[in-house]
Amino acid sequence: MSEFDYDLFVIGAGSGGVRASRIAASHGARVAVAEEHRVGGTCVIRGCVPKKLLVYGAHFAEDIHDARKFGWEVADCKFNWTVLRDNVLAEVDRLEGLYGQTLDSHKVTVFKTRATLIGPQKVRLADGQEISAERILIATGGWPFVPEFPGSEHAITSNEVFHLDKLPKRVVIAGGGYIANEFAGIFNEFGSKVTIVNRGDTILRGYDEQIRDRLLQISMTKGIDFKFNAPFQSIEKNDDGTLTVHLENCDAITADAVLIATGRTPNTKGLGLEDIGVELDEHGAIKVGDDNQSSVPSIYAVGDVTNRIQLTPVAIREGQAFADSVFGGKPTVVDYKNVPSAVFSHPPIGAVGMTEAEARNKLGSIRTYTSDFRAMKNVLAGRNERALYKMIVNAATDQVVGLHMIGPDAPEILQAAAIAVKAGLTKADFDATVALHPSMAEELVLLK
């Protein structure tokens, strides 16, 4: 008999925590998981999944408009936010149920409550119950970061945006990253007047400059306003319920909703980590090694709480690697090289590998290839929106070290192309592949 109640206690039933729990249990471990919000975590409940469904919903605005050019007689359409919102939330409920079932079927005990650490091998639940475990995995994810300024309480974050009572006519979005650009596209397609307000002069830092510029240009053409170098000063709530946003270096803006999308911070506050000696970095993230182990040997962490790459599939890989290494006798280290990513803006972006600037810095001698084209569908629709594909090649080896795309379905195409980049294929390998015509993806093998 073990001296512990469980072999593994997981705090947080999001993407990383659920994967780790399920796999550890399948390796024979006795596992429990505590979740204070809802099983599924950020991605399923208030992130990737409901966001992608809103992106689909929003894109109908363009599809319905363009359909007329393809011969469809489309009556005037009206968008009903509450119908979409409720359908999306119902889908979220369904997925939450499936996640719960997965844990049940793997005999993982679920405590739907908050757990905090009271020792290297002990947690306390909100009702006071104390539980011991040989190992503890922290998978508590991140939480929206809201800068401090007067009136910030009037703003919403990505936590609340899926639950709005009605569609705001005017939206101000703070930040220039993933969430800001994705929701700018969503609200703009629904007909809201959108203004993105950024503290700097760059959107989507980390993405290739040409691709960012293309999104900026297309977004502005679609009617999204951008204010750069304009940090928030305050938000004032007016008597009629509207909000006035005061900015540095810029006129005030009145809006019906203000969405703050200025990054996410690791969810480590109040967990008792520091009291038992778990080291955190300057952002409050749990410091872990390649094996996901913290400075306290019995405590591990995976996912956004470690602030490595804040992406769901990465958290899932980390959860799997942890469980296989610790409970499956199969030491596994996650490979963070060439992780593909996407921004589900309108149009979307997909990218893998180095940007041109990174490649120049790291490799010195590179070749770049671009295809700047209008998708066939956009041509017939009369939509003056150009896609841009860009390939970065190491001049010394001919290896493709980066692919960056903006255009219809770019993430879908990029996922397959990322296999080639990950496998270290060369430009010659791309060239040797016969084009699949007519498609947008064929541009990847026709780059000159």
Q: In whole angstroms, how close is the CB of 202 to ligand NDP at the nearest point? A: 6
Question: Which two tokens mark 362?
Answer: 């790291």
Q: Between residues 119 and 263, which has the closer beta carbon with respect to ligand NDP?
A: 263
Q: Give the number of other Cβ atoms within 10 Å of residue 190's Cβ.
A: 19
Q: Between residues 178 and 430, which has the closer beta carbon with respect to ligand NDP?
A: 178
| Stretch near ligand NDP under the rule CB under 6 A, chosen from 129-137, 198-206, 213-221, 357-365 | 198-206
Torsions phi, psi of 228, nearest 5? -105, 160
Q: In whole angstroms, how close is the CB of 347 to ligand NDP at the nearest point? A: 14
Between residue 30 and residue 89, which ones bind ligand NDP under the rule CB under 6 A? none
Q: Between residues 314 and 388, which has the closer beta carbon with respect to ligand NDP?
A: 314
Nearest to 440 by CA among 415, 403, 406: 406
Catalytic residue status for 65? no
Between the alpha carbon of residue 285 and those of residues 83, 138, 278, 333, 373, the distances in Å are: 38, 11, 10, 19, 42
202 binds ligand NDP (CB under 6 A): yes
Q: Please compute Rg for the chain using Cα positions.
A: 24
Reduced to 3 states (helix: H, G, I; strand: E, B; else coil), residue 147 is coil
Q: Give the number of other Cβ atoms within 10 Å of residue 167's Cβ.
A: 18
Confirm if 378 and 199 have CB atoms less than 8 A apart: no
Between residue 112 and residue 171, which ones bind ligand NDP under the rule CB under 6 A? 147
Residue nearest to ligand NDP (CB): 177
Q: Between residues 122 and 308, which has the closer beta carbon with respect to ligand NDP?
A: 308
Among 68, 205, 283, 362, binds ligand NDP (CB under 6 A): 205
The rounded distance, in Å, linking the Cα atoms of 270 and 54 is 33
Q: Between residues 202 and 234, which has the closer beta carbon with respect to ligand NDP?
A: 202
Of 27, 154, 404, 437, which one is the catalytic site residue?
A: 437
Reduced to 3 states (helix: H, G, I; strand: E, B; else coil), residue 111 is strand
Residue for token pair 């399923």: 44
367 binds ligand NDP (CB under 6 A): no
Count the residues of the shown chain that bind ligand NDP, applying the rule CB under 6 A: 24
Q: Between residues 278 and 410, which has the closer beta carbon with respect to ligand NDP?
A: 410
21 binds ligand NDP (CB under 6 A): no
Could you give the string, one character per residue 254-293, with x where binding to ligand NDP holds by CB under 6 A and - elsewhere? Answer: -------xxxx-----------------------------
Could you give the string, one character per residue 229-258, with x where binding to ligand NDP holds by CB under 6 A and - elsewhere? Answer: --x---------------------------
Question: Which two tokens mark 4?
Answer: 């512990």
Q: In whole angstroms, how close is the CB of 346 to ligand NDP at the nearest point? A: 13
Q: Between residues 261 and 366, which has the closer beta carbon with respect to ligand NDP?
A: 261
Buried b (16+ CB within 10 A) or exposed e, 84-110: bbeebeeebeebbeebbeebeeeebbb
Q: Between residues 262 and 306, which has the closer beta carbon with respect to ligand NDP?
A: 262
Question: Which two tokens mark 59?
Answer: 């894109």
Q: In whole angstroms, how close is the CB of 14 to ligand NDP at the nearest point? A: 13
Between residue 306 and residue 325, which ones bind ligand NDP under the rule CB under 6 A? 310-311
Between residue 168 and residue 187, which ones bind ligand NDP under the rule CB under 6 A? 175-180, 182
Look at the chain and count its residues. 448
**3-state secondary structure string across 330-396:** CCCCCCCCCCCEEECCCCCEEEEECCHHHHHHHHCCEEEEEEEEECHHHHHHCCCCEEEEEEEEECC
Nearest to 25 by CA among 393, 331, 387, 322: 322
Among 38, 154, 199, 422, binds ligand NDP (CB under 6 A): 199
Buried b (16+ CB within 10 A) or exposed e, 284-304: bbbebeeebbbebebbbbbbb
343 binds ligand NDP (CB under 6 A): yes
200 binds ligand NDP (CB under 6 A): yes
Torsions phi, psi of 402, nearest 5? -160, 140
| Stretch near ligand NDP under the rule CB under 6 A, chosen from 193-201, 212-220, 415-423, 436-444 | 193-201
207 binds ligand NDP (CB under 6 A): no
The residues of the shown chain that bind ligand NDP, judged by CB under 6 A, are: 147, 175-180, 182, 198-200, 202, 205, 231, 261-264, 310-311, 341-344
Catalytic residues: 437
